[in-house]
Amino acid sequence: MEPDENEYVDCASVFGLYAEVKDAQRVTEYLENHPHLKELLLDAPSKIREFFGDTAAPCLKLFHDLDSGTCELYVVIYTTLPPAQAIRREHEMLENWWLDAADLAKNDMTVVVESR
């Protein structure tokens, strides 16, 4: 997908790939202002499954830094893996996917793992 095509990606198509989207209206507004994230968000669930399996539940959340007035989109990966295994898989994901993908995110999105 060409970068300029990202603006035509429907947010509903993106949201359907995630277990949960916290405050979908605000996330939609954020994505409309950051269309370069849409392709990453379309690819992320399959990449997450590669490292965490089918039971991983990726969710989208918008976090606001009240001190700086900025916000950033987080892909939170909820996993039931034991913590040591989740940490190992997170490192594998960072090395094999996210560190390269993060350049495309332009500091507007990050990926974190949380054990349940």
pLDDT band at 1 (very low <50, low <70, confident <90, very high): very low
Model pLDDT for residues 43-102, shown as the tens digit of each residue: 999 999 999 999 999 999 999 888 988 899 999 999 999 999 999 999 999 999 999 999
Task: Tell me whether residue 5 is exposed, middle or buried, using C-beta atoms within 10 angstroms of its C-beta: 0 to 12, 13 to 18, 19 or more.
Answer: exposed
Please give the model's pTM, rounded to 2 decimal places.
0.88
Q: Cβ distance 115 to 80 under 8 Å?
A: yes
Question: 90-116, pLDDT tens digit by residue?
Answer: 999 999 999 999 999 999 999 999 988
Specify the 3-state DSSP secondary structure of 21: strand
